[in-house]
Amino acid sequence: MKIAVIGAGPAGLYFAISMKLRDSSHDITVFERNRADDTFGWGVVLSDETMSNFGGNDPVSERTIRENFAYWDDVKVVRGDESMTSGGHGFCGIGRKKMLLLLQDRARELGVELQFQSDLTPERIEAMKGEYDLVVAADGLNSKTRALYEDRFQPEIDMRRNHFVWLGTRQKFDDAFTFIFERTEHGWIWAHAYQFDDDTATFIVECGPDVFEAFGFADMSQQDSIALCEKIFARHLGGHALMTNAGHIRGSAWIRFPRVTCENWYFDNVVLLGDASATAHFSIGSGTKLGMESAIALADELSSGKPLAQALQTYQDERKLQVLRVTSAARNSTQWFEEIERYLDLDLMQFNYALLTRSQRISHENLRLRDPEWLASAEAWFQKQAGSNSARSPMFAPFKLRGMELANRIVVSPMAQYKARDGMPTDWHFVHYAERAKGGAGLVFTEMLCVSMDGRITPGCPCIGPDQVPLWRRLTDFVHGETSARICAQIGHAGRKGSTRLAWEGIDQPLAVGEDWLLISASDVPLMEGNGVPKPMDRADMDRVLAQFVEATRAADDAGFDMIEMHAAHGYLLASFISPVTNRRNDEYGGSLENRMRYPLEVFAAMRAAWPEEKPMTVRISAHDWMGGEGVNPDEAVKIAAMFKNAGADAINVSSGQTDKAEQPVYGRMFQVPFADRVRNEISLPTLVAGNIYEPDHVNSILMAGRADLVLLARPHLADPYWTLHAAVELGDTEQEWPKPYEGGRRQANTLAERSKAMSA
């Protein structure tokens, strides 16, 4: 093939090398607008795992790069006068200029033609399409090629909020990858520092927009900006200067990071590579890794014997998914640094843990493999904060809300069972909840218990009132008498989402005429076409329903529940007032957030007054309607949570979605945790969180990082009522109590786990 590569960065050069290794007869020319020894970064960070991958592709370049590496194993966090170090992270760094020169030499050795100071015009790029079999656009995050063919690649460029400047220094940071956080008169500013050769370290300075503007960095010359950074970080620089290699840029060299994604990575015979196709934020140091690994993948596909279009399609399909995994982690890391002021007052132990796990690529047990001593000290710290002297994992730490004490942080999430008869719980409910209480969870939630028959979701949903007290009392007596669990009644009213069929008969589908009942809601907005149109509630309706909530609250106390939760999420009655998607009122209960919250707060106040002082009460909210600009968003959710806190809520159960069928949720592992994190750390109130959480690792990471206080698992508890007991076995935790009749099962489970571990070792 005759191939033009636009851009002589690591990705472009490594692609040319990889293609030549597969077939030396390829005619490859690399065009670079800068000089051969120009570079505007400092160090490049790679992991041992990445270098092993490169070794399988080209041992020669891998060896020469390794010979020029600076290695470090530790990550050090310095915050003011405090510092903490953890090990086992296994990184290596090399100067970007040195790496480029090594790759240039290797490319020339293999017969690649390199043309520097070739600043290609759009017309020249267009002409290349006809002159070459393939045009590889490796021209970086500001790709001219991508801009020229914007309609074909369909890029989306998200300029992130923080500002940063990429500097270097002769100060040594050769003992650890170092994060330095300094509080200034204008707020926090921080540095990412790491050694990349014997003499030089990268020193990236970053801050939020408010601090950037307060210092006036945008209006400074590079020299003045650098001088100010030297002053801020003077005690860490040991008298050494900060250096820039961006002297060609006028004014301040501070920039914001552009997060680039593209719908298409190729068209005809033009293909994007590296940062031109997708960018990963510098805070996880994976941009070079991604570009070079994509270069290998593209070379493999082009050498597979497939027609060009098929090879490029396969490259896009497979590599795009791999890159997405890393760029999603990079997005998590980016957001963490953008919201860092929320965490800077955490204890340094928890702050350090949160920083290490910010991208969700490093998990709790992965940290144990890296530095078991440090993680053990972190776990002991967490237990101590919880009032325990134990050294167990965070998920087994006790927790207290008012007078309710929980043995651990695992919660059985509310899950509708659709097995009630005429609003009455049945033996199904007794067995279902009793089994999960026996399974080791600290707290068990009931499904939503409806305050009236016409407040049910389906004919199979149970109620809570005087008639149901004896049946619920039978359950709570069992839970208290036979297990260490506590049990919470979630109380709510279906509103516009009521009068529907059992889930397995057509979820959210309306009941047949004659079987249905009248609906009420904040406004006359049906759940979807074909469902009943609810009556907008008037004052009489509000008073009647409020009285039902109070009666349900008193019934929950009579039935022996330890805690209640007011359900104000998922589009049910109280949530229909909160969300502007379902609240179209023009009276004092509609419009502004204060008005939309008026009725839910009235109900909450009445319930709290009827509920014993020593027992806790929580509220479930939807932190995101996933309705674009129309519904509740995470910013507003913090305000909603704060209003409930001021009204006396002991914790907020942070959920999302299910408000309207037009929602467009973004799912993923632990996808609701960021919402709970915001509420917890911005208003200083405990949070509960659920949402695609299914491993002990997830739970421990969430808790240890201070992102929530209790973790709810739904489907895992449907699949395994004894999830907590089995998680303890998996973690090697032999302190977990089992029901006494099951003691033989506990011994066998632990023995088998130890045997399996020994065999693996």
Q: Are 634 and 624 in contact (CB under 8 A)?
A: yes
Residue 338: closest CA among 186, 178, 156, 160: 160
Q: How far apart are CA 30 and CA 15, in angstroms?
A: 10
Percent helix, percent strand, percent coil in the chain, to nearest 5? 45, 20, 35
CA-to-CA dists, residue 755 to 100, 750, 759, angstroms:
50, 9, 6
Return the structure tokens found at 227.
């001088």
- Write out the E strands in 555-709: 563-568, 617-622, 651-655, 687-689
Closest C-alpha among 15, 537, 91 to residue 5 = 15
Task: For residue 742, indicate whether it is catalytic.
Answer: no
- Residues 194, 266, 572, 722: which is the catalytic one? 572
The CB-based long-range contact list for 216-222 (8 Å cut-off, 24+ gap) reads: 217/163, 217/165, 217/252, 217/254, 218/251, 218/252, 218/254, 219/252, 220/251, 220/252, 221/251, 221/252, 222/246, 222/247, 222/249, 222/251, 222/252, 222/253
| CA 23 to the chain's CA centroid | 42
Which DSSP symbol is given to 38? -
Are 207 and 190 contacting, i.e. CB atoms less than 8 angstroms apart?
A: yes
Q: Which amino acid is at 209?
A: P
Q: In sequence order, what E strands does 556-699 have?
A: 563-568, 617-622, 651-655, 687-689
Neighbours of 761 (CB within 10 A): 5
DSSP letter, residue 584: -
Name the residues annotated as catalytic: 572
